[in-house]
Amino acid sequence: PEHYPGYGTRGNGSSQAYDTGYKIPAGQQDNAHMGVYSLTSSGSNASDIGNANSAINCRSLGTADTAFSRVNGATAGSATSLDGLGIFIANRTGALSADNKMWKRGAVIQASTSASAVPDATYNLWVAGRNGATPEYSGRTMAFWTIGTGIPDAVLTAYSLIIENVCSRLSASYTAA
């Protein structure tokens, strides 16, 4: 992907993504998060971060003003999202479908309909796309990615705000893009 100083990186939407070299370990099946800070709102059906079998994916904005996410789940949840700007975090903190939520700028916008599933052990996580038998490549400009263990709801709002503030101070604010 191409780097834009002061803003972030952008894939070409057809063949470019970053391979993180990381797979969600089986021990984190019910305890994982991933997120992306998107600077562009253009619609796309390509995932912005994820791996095969849709086990983990987070889309800032689909072509029908819809954001999709799931973390170690069999199906994706969706929510209306009129723009694809700012920090989006897919977060799983337990085995129930209610424990698999998507957050946008510090607020829950979707609770998944999917209970926990074993993490994909074949494909590494990609950023600016989704790794798998049928890969996807995002063309959005993104300034920040986050991957790790699940974050308690009470902490996730503050974490989102920190990311928004850091990106803004680094001149990677979606309001300036």
Q: Which of 55-59, 92-96, 154-158 has the lowest mean pLDDT?
A: 55-59
Q: List the single range of 42-51, 88-97, 128-137 with lowest mean pLDDT.
A: 42-51
Residues 16-39 have pLDDT tens digits of: 888 999 888 888 889 999 998 888
What residues form DSSP beta bridges with 77?
Answer: 69
- pLDDT, tens digit, for every residue of 100-136? 899 998 999 888 767 888 888 888 888 888 888 888 8
Higher pLDDT, 1 or 125: 125
State how far the alpha carbon of 67 is from the alpha carbons of 48, 86, 93, 108, 155, in Å.
Answer: 11, 12, 20, 12, 22
Q: Which of 95, 116, 112, 94 is nearest to 103 (CA)?
A: 112
Mean pLDDT over 58-70 rounds to 69
Mean pLDDT estimate for the chain: 81
Question: Which residues fall within 8 angstroms of residue 77, CB to CB, at 6 or more apart?
Answer: 68, 69, 70, 100, 102, 110, 111, 112, 113, 114
